[in-house]
Amino acid sequence: MDSWRYRANVNVEIIVSHEFTVLPTLIQRTRDNNCEWSLAKIEMTKARVRYQQQQQQQRQQQQQQQQLQQQQLTS
């Protein structure tokens, strides 16, 4: 029987035959894992954006402090 392997997740490996005699529960588990992975990717993206925004705010604050110091030195 010919079959191919489909890696849905690190923990789940599903063997699917060419006749597609797969249990619906396996298919549903694959969909659930894909949904969880999609949600995890969204959360990682949100976290990355928050981190970048924090870094940008810190840089702006540092620039403002430097400008104030320069103004105080020149005045």
Q: Which two tokens stand for residue 37?
A: 């992975």
Cα–Cα distance between 33 and 48 in angstroms, integer? 22
Domain range summary for the chain, segments of one domain joined by +: 1-74
Judged against a pLDDT cut of 60, whether residue 5 lies above it is answered with no
Q: Which two tokens stand for residue 16?
A: 């699917």
Per residue in 7-54, pLDDT tens?
545 455 555 554 455 556 666 677 777 777 777 888 888 888 889 999
Residues paired with residue 4 on neighbouring β-strands, in sequence order: 16
The pTM score is 0.48
Stretch (H or E) spanning 11: none
- Asked whether the predicted pLDDT for residue 73 surpasses 60, the reply is yes
